[in-house]
Amino acid sequence: MEANKTFQSEIANLSAQGIISATENIAFEKKKSAELELLKQRELELQAKRELVTSAVTTYAGYIQGGESGANALASTITDISVLKSFINTLDFF
């Protein structure tokens, strides 16, 4: 993102020298920056989902190793993950 801001500054400098049209290029770069930010957000959301799945598998394995039956382990895992998701949804930073 910092590189993009630097590039936008360079474009503004070039346009001041009359080399390129600042309006067109800055608009293009701002659009590209917004698209990159959206892509970054989607990647973070996918990463969070992967981590939730990993957590669910680890929790399930823990219940199985603790002697729970498959059905009870699954039910307990679903409950734990549901509570965790509800808690996370109450937090502002997601």
Domain range for 47 is: 2-90
Predicted model pTM: 0.61
Q: Give the residues of the chain that fall short of pLDDT 70.
A: 1, 4, 11, 14-23, 93-94
- Quick count: other Cβ atoms within 10 Å of Cβ 4? 14
pLDDT at site 21 = 66
Using CA of residue 73, residue 74, residue 79, residue 85, what is the dihedral sign?
Answer: positive
Domain count, the chain: 1
